[in-house]
Amino acid sequence: MRTIIKYRYIICMIWVLGAILLTAFQPDVNAILRERGQSALDDKSPSVVASNILKKMETTEGASDLIVFYEKDKISEKQKNEIADAIKSIKENSKELGITEMIDPVSMPQAAASLYSEDGTTLMVSVKVDKGEKSVDDLTDLFNKELNNVSAEHYLSGEDFITNDYQTKSEAGVEKSAALTVLFILVVLIIIFRSIITPVVSLISVVFAYLTANGIAAQLIDKANFPVTSLTTMLLILILFGIGTDYNILLFSRFREELAKGFSIDDAIVKTYRTAGKTIAYSIVTVLIAFATLVLAKCPIYQSGAVVVIGAVMLLLEILTLTPFVMKVLGKKLFWPSKNVAGHKESKVWGKMASISSKHSILSFLAVLLIILPMVFFYQEKLSFNLVGELGDSSPSSKGFNLVAEHFGAGQTMTTSVVIEDKSAMDNNEALAVIDQLTDNLKNIKGVKKVSSVTQPEGKPIENFYLGSQLFMIAAGLGKSQAGLEQINQGLTAASKSTGNNQLGSVTAGLGQISDGLGQTGSYLDSLKDNKTFFMPEQAMADKNYQQVINTFLSQDKKITKLTVVLKDDPYSEAAQKTVKEISKVLTYTLKGTKFTDAKYGVSGTSATTAETNDVLSSDLQRTAVIVVIGVFLVLLIVVRSVWSSLAIVASLVGAYFAAATAMNAIFINMRGLEGISSFVPFFAFIIIIALGVDYSIFLIMRFKEYPKMPVNEAIVLACKHIGGVVMSAIIILGGTFATLMPSGMVLLEELATAVIVGLVMLCFILLPIFLPAAMSLPKTLSNMSPFFNKKMDVELGYEEA
């Protein structure tokens, strides 16, 4: 440390130069995110495989979007004309707009009925847009220019515009949060230290760590394809500014204590880093390990959280090198204008709670367990992937989406596709019969509203494509032939009688037999009229109109087919996810044992992706959570050197998470009526509460270890008194940092903030000052009560007393 103090000016120059260069040459992470998108699934996922098969059918490139027109009292004729003119103008400028395909009521009058809602208030125009080098914002401006003369309300919606609005709102939320975070930290630090210099210095030091970490992360995202999500920058800001300020509080408080004892500035710095510095190093390493385990997650979205590792490393370097520079240069002036150089006052609240819990360790321990355990056992995870729901009606794309859902049906907004890829062509009766059977089977699923396929393009069976209907028509023809034969027979019979010609008599007898045979054949064929065996005549297959259907539902080489499924429920809903899973089951058993047994097949679309993402995220959360907990426990073993204390700390952290998760469900599902918690929140809430909560546990335990000769119960109470104020200040800072997410207007950020704040409150007022002292005093209490808990047991648990 004295070497760092000696070369402090060189170190400071390196930091300044590094921050400037990394910021100046930093790639635009938001632009990269817009280009890449964010997905929880890899290329081997069934819905992704199905989507890639579907793309082979596409003759045009681009994403499917919608232009939605709406008039509350019904779209008038004048407005229809305005819309028609706008559509014509859009078609004329389709190249500039990147439109590769368009379904509208002007150029396709036959489609008008399906594009206008039944109440006449809403019209949707389907467009396929290839953005090329243009941004979605550029596209929005171009479309709005064409729609400027339309008096009816109009909105751009669909994949491109919803994703862009969500990303834009996320960025705005992060920017607002960053500004509020800085303001909040300044105010709180001024109150804590009664100084203007300390807050500014603390923030500047954290800013250096953030700028360098963000610059390095951006380079890795750009050059090494490091995972990135809309949460990446936000996590880096919140965690670095939150824990960075917490560590500065601990460092500056201890530095002020050492100065108050009369030590020189250099000696005070050295002593500060031998005590508080060691605590911070352990804490940062724990945070680093917790977030480093995210690289083991399967989900790229979860992997993106590993960016905090870069931030933790840079923060550790900053604390070890740049902060001593500030302490040396400013000395006691660091706390100006406050003249009080005494450290944090003892925390009476923590001291009292710790004293009571350590005296009544069994009762306190069990009381906390009675509060936490029901939350653990009765917690149910319900995730939501509804980007539109998170946007509400605040964005044009979500408003357009909601109008279509309201007036056309929720499933109409984002349909589901079933795809089959075979090695041989499908334009034959054997293949079409299987496809038709699959169509019927899918229609029988409870949550399915409509299924369109190559054999049922309008979602209804074409009667002439079934043997029953064809045989019925033949039977009808035979009936007419029989009637004609009977007329001829009657005429010949009359002629035979009048002329007495025996030859004519034999002819009439033969005709009678033929007539009877036709009658019997017709009766037999008529009995088969309900036969639903699919069979398409060659002339029907070659029909010009039907060839358009084939081109819609079969690929050019006829080896891929798609079935379009409209669901009854919102495509993001839990009901839709269950329906899609049922579709997958029906698809598998229908194709089994047919000519498509060895074919590739699957289900794609928003609902399919959502259902699969739900399963991936849930399993990844459980698996990664176990790895994180084990990693934290091992670090605690090294730091604390007590199995029992390490177990108690881990239990308190897990308990804090389940309390937070229970609170989230109560507030957002039960009270606000949301279908579930935003998909990313439980995972990141767990990681943040565990990784950052362990910091405060280490703060407490390291202070406890400074009193090795005292009895355990007295040492933990004294540690709580001395460190309680620092921990509460740190928790207020971190909790307030996350509270700045509340005004973002995004449900995801509100949920994350709620979870972290509740978890921190549980740690601050129950788990750290009550549960942990009770747990650490428990072995000694039990040893006094029972001979089974002896001195040897105390030593093994790390409680050997002098």
pLDDT at 507 over 60: no
**Domain-ending residue, one of 604, 629, 649:** 604
* pLDDT confidence of residue 159: 76
Q: How many domains does the chain have?
A: 5
* pLDDT confidence of residue 801: 43
More confident residue, 233 or 643: 643
More confident residue, 192 or 447: 447
pLDDT band at 795 (very low <50, low <70, confident <90, very high): very low
687 and 728 part of one domain: yes
Residue 185 in any domain: the answer is no
* pLDDT confidence of residue 787: 58
* pLDDT confidence of residue 758: 95
More confident residue, 54 or 409: 54
Assign 473 to helix, strand or coil.
helix
pLDDT at 386 over 80: no
Q: E strands, 605-686, where? A: 677-678
> CB neighbours (10 Å) of residue 786?
9
Residue 714 in any domain: the answer is yes
209 and 307 part of one domain: yes
> Can you tell me the distance from the alpha carbon of 594 to that of 445, in angstroms, rounded to the nearest whole number?
21
According to DSSP, the residues that pair with 561 across neighbouring strands are: 420, 554
* 799 Cβ contact list (under 8 Å, min separation 6): 642, 644, 712, 776, 779, 780
pLDDT band at 209 (very low <50, low <70, confident <90, very high): very high
pLDDT at 375 over 70: yes
655 and 799 part of one domain: yes
646 and 734 part of one domain: yes
Structure tokens at 522: 């017709």
* pLDDT confidence of residue 799: 47
pLDDT at 657 over 90: yes
More confident residue, 582 or 475: 582
> Can you tell me the distance from the alpha carbon of 28 to that of 591, in angstroms, rounded to the nearest whole number?
47
Measured at the CA of 705, the angle between CA 701 and CA 708, to 5 degrees, comes to 150
199 and 120 part of one domain: no
- Read off the CATH number of the domain in which 76 is found: 3.30.1360.40
Structure tokens at 194: 């009664």
294 and 309 part of one domain: yes
Place of tokens 């302490």: 327
In terms of Cα–Cα distance, which of 340, 324, 330 is closest to 251? 324
Of 110-119, 151-160, 314-323, 495-504, the one with minimum mean pLDDT is 495-504
> CB neighbours (10 Å) of residue 800?
12
204 and 317 part of one domain: yes
Rounded to an integer, the average pLDDT of 380-398 is: 78
- Read off the CATH number of the domain in which 656 is found: 1.20.1640.10
List helix spans (H) across 261-360.
Answer: 265-292, 300-303, 307-330, 348-359
> Can you tell me the distance from the alpha carbon of 176 to that of 179, in angstroms, rounded to the nearest whole number?
5
724 and 758 part of one domain: yes
Residue 625 in any domain: the answer is yes
Identify the burial level of 376 via C-beta atoms within 10 angstroms of its C-beta, where 0-12 means exposed, 13-18 middle and 19 or more buried.
Answer: middle
pLDDT at 684 over 60: yes
Rg (CA), the chain: 37
List helix spans (H) across 409-466.
Answer: 410-413, 429-443
**Domain-ending residue, one of 604, 620, 636:** 604
> Can you tell me the distance from the alpha carbon of 225 to that of 625, in angstroms, rounded to the nearest whole number?
25
Q: Cβ(423)–Cβ(557) under 8 Å?
A: no
642 and 710 part of one domain: yes
pLDDT at 520 over 80: no
> Can you tell me the distance from the alpha carbon of 555 to that of 551, in angstroms, rounded to the nearest whole number?
7
According to DSSP, the residues that pair with 448 across neighbouring strands are: 567
724 and 787 part of one domain: yes
pLDDT band at 675 (very low <50, low <70, confident <90, very high): confident
**Domain-ending residue, one of 304, 336, 368:** 336
Strand order in the sheet with 122-129: 99-103, 122-129, 63-70, 153-158
Task: Write the pLDDT tens digit of every residue in 44-94.
Answer: 788 888 888 888 887 667 778 889 999 988 999 999 999 999 999 998 888
pLDDT band at 510 (very low <50, low <70, confident <90, very high): low
Residue 173 in any domain: the answer is no
Which long-range contacts does 22-28 make (Cβ < 8 Å, 24+ apart)? 22/211, 22/212, 22/214, 22/215, 22/216, 22/219, 23/211, 23/214, 23/215, 25/215, 26/214, 26/215, 26/218, 26/219, 27/218, 27/219, 27/221, 27/222
pLDDT band at 574 (very low <50, low <70, confident <90, very high): confident
More confident residue, 276 or 476: 276
Residue 6 in any domain: the answer is yes
Rounded to an integer, the average pLDDT of 95-103 is: 86
Of 58-72, 120-134, 218-232, 529-543, the one with minimum mean pLDDT is 529-543
Q: Cβ(123)–Cβ(68) under 8 Å?
A: yes
pLDDT at 492 over 60: no
Assign 147 to helix, strand or coil.
coil
Structure tokens at 445: 């699923």
pLDDT at 445 over 90: yes
Its domain, for residue 129, covers 56-151
585 and 483 part of one domain: no
- Read off the CATH number of the domain in which 419 is found: 3.30.70
643 and 594 part of one domain: no
- For residue 393, the Cα-to-chain-centroid distance in whole angstroms is 20
Percent of the chain scored above 90 by pLDDT?
Answer: 23
Residue 687 in any domain: the answer is yes
Residue 16 in any domain: the answer is yes
Residue 163 in any domain: the answer is no
pLDDT at 17 over 90: yes
Identify the burial level of 281 via C-beta atoms within 10 angstroms of its C-beta, where 0-12 means exposed, 13-18 middle and 19 or more buried.
Answer: middle
* pLDDT confidence of residue 635: 85
Average pLDDT, the chain: 82
Buried-exposed string 92-115: b where 16+ CB fall within 10 A, e elsewhere: eeeeebbbbbbebbbeeeeeeeeb
Task: Write the pLDDT tens digit of every residue in 159-175.
Answer: 788 888 888 887 787 77
